[in-house]
Structure 1
């Protein structure tokens, strides 16, 4: 089963859709949110769901445009959620302006879970007065580690290619290494711009070294990539956020990509795909 978590511009809350074939997705709760923000700014943007060390589903989400914290909650069935909490991932970093698009992945060699997110860090400045929604900023990918989602290591830079990048997402490869997609955040929010597209890299150890980037593997202007396995192929979905639609591409080797067709919910923004065994809370389509 595949579950897509997303928000919409009209409702910055957790929405879900699901599919049994990875091609046709049906909305949960008739397209209404299954969870609304209850801490911080009250926003749940860029939601990501993965399975934690306790066997529960763990939600991470962006707490608005300029919060140094990310939202965290847990669930056994994706419909009923624990009390939300704020994880202050960047609160102690001087000059940190935000913490966007949090996700996590597990390193099976160390057993650690790596939380990753995008941040601007400019000591001596603040986020006040900056138009984060419309103007690009100088982001890098940051991370911390945890064994239990209760205590976390100090944050550190995870990926810095020498220019602004956001929206990293990581999948473990059968070989034991990792595949990472991310957005080249250079350029402007204009369909004629250069950059603002998705690239790929691989690494064996979290934090690098990283292989030479490949791409772009998408058109421009897009963001919010998410990668999942469907049969013997990889599928990547991405948000054409200026055009109000979603795109997808597929690959059998992770190198050569071609356009793919999926039926996804309308108005979906910055979605993430969870692969999970069938759940009684989400009936057959």
Structure 2
């Protein structure tokens, strides 16, 4: 009997342990945020939230959380946010159409932000035409932030024949890395598949990495999304990309998000002034769920990411919203 009672006590202890763990997880329930801009990006950073990754609602009454103060055009386009292991949120963005740097600010709560600063990532290459759509990615395996963006550098990749409004731009992806946002590695070429590409976004699943990227070619006409995979960011992504995964609409600004067993990819159908989304469990077969998503009116090019419910509750308390 003593043996049985001891076993019962052990069983009870184990169950209590799991109950405590489950309760802690429930308190730290993850929700989803979406950083985005509206119009031309002049009023700054907007945020939306969702509990199911389908229905998204504006925060702060639809008003901006951060107004741009740097760059030639004083814009905050393509806001991308990643969170480090210390809980700090790091934001990068496009500051203007023809700048050679990108914007940066940080925050502990997404409400109160640091002073904005310019990261001069392409100023060493004077022929650089632009520095667009920076994406920030935190590699938790190496405790390292990657900042990736698109630039046209004619001395490296000559301008090409494009549609009339694209000014012959021939983008490649460049990058820098940092651990503290004070010192940065020298800018290097990140991805060159042999044609113009922009908007690279990375999703990490354990030791594997998926990149979704836009084929930017207009002659021949493409403007669609492709994906590639690697086991090592140091080794880079293969130059051979998948087939078009985004359909016939012109697409840009992809962002990838893990939702339970699914990979969700959201993207801006910018000629149609609509947002699209696809999902997959195996990253091979994709289901179009565009008809199932509801995003704030006027949303443009952003980044979806997970936060705890505590972070969301603080954002919700900032201002009454509809």
Using the size of structure 2 for normalisation, the TM-score is: 0.80
Q: 2:227 aligns with which of 177, 200, 209?
A: 200
Give the counterpart of 1:40 among 68, 71, 94: 71
Specify which structure has the higher proportion of helix: 2
1:204-237 per-residue CA deviation (whole Å, 9 max, x = no partner) reads 2225343431121002311000000111101001
Give 2:97's aligned residue: 65
User: What is the aligned partner in structure 1 of residue 153 from structure 2?
Assistant: 121
SS in 2 for 1:30: helix
The total of aligned residue pairs comes to 278
CA contact (8 A) 1:15 1:34 kept: yes
1:216 is aligned to 244
- When residues 139 and 78 of structure 1 are mapped into structure 2, their CA distance, relative to the original with a 3 A threshold, is same
d(CA) in 1 for partners of 2:264 and 2:71? 33
C-alpha distance in 2, partners of 1:269/1:46?
8
Q: Does 1:152 align with 2:184?
A: yes
**Residue 136 of structure 1 contacts residue 186 of structure 1 at CA under 8 Å; is this kept in 2?**
no
Structure 1 residues 95 and 11, CA gap change in structure 2 (3 angstroms): closer
**For residues 207 and 101 of structure 1, what CA distance do their matches in structure 2 show?**
22
The alpha-carbon distance between structure 1 residues 106 and 34, as it changes in their structure 2 partners (threshold 3 A), is closer
Q: 1:267 aligns with which of 287, 298, 304?
A: 298
Q: Give a deviation string over 1:141-178, Cα, whole Å, max 9, x none.
A: 0001111111001101000000000000001123x021
**Matched residues in 1 for 2:77 and 2:237: separation?**
28
CA distance in 2, matches of 1:133, 1:38: 27
Q: Cα distance, 1:24 vs. partner?
A: 1.0
> C-alpha displacement at 1:9, in angstroms?
1.6
SS of match in other structure, 1:250: strand
Match of 1:281 in 2: 314
1:281, distance to aligned residue in structure 2 (A):
1.5
Paired residues of 1:97 and 1:119 also in contact (CA < 8 A)? yes
Distance across 1 between alignment mates of 2:164 and 2:233: 28
Q: TM-score, normalised by structure 1?
A: 0.90
Per the alignment, in what secondary structure is the counterpart of residue 281 of structure 1?
A: helix
Gaps of 5+ in 2: 1-30
Relative to structure 1, the CA distance from residue 207 to residue 155 in structure 2 (aligned partners, 3 Å threshold; closer, same or farther) is same
User: After superposition, what is the alpha-carbon deviation per residue over 1:68-101, rounded to whole angstroms, capped at 9, x for unaligned?
Assistant: 1110011111122111001101111242111111
Q: CA RMSD in A?
A: 2.4
Match of 1:2 among 32, 39, 42: 32
**Contact preservation (8 Å) 2:60, 2:315:** no
Structure 1 gap ranges (5+): none
CA distance in 2, matches of 1:92, 1:10: 27
Q: Which has the higher strand share?
A: 1
Query: Aligned to 1:254, which of 283, 297, 303?
Result: 283
1:10 and 1:154 mapped to 2: Cα distance?
30
Map 1:129-208 onto structure 2 (within 5 A): 134-135=166-167, 137-174=169-206, 176-187=207-218, 194-208=221-235
1:22-80, Cα deviation, whole Å (9 max, x unpaired) = 11111012112111101123110000011135421111000111101110011111122
SS in 1 for 2:45: strand
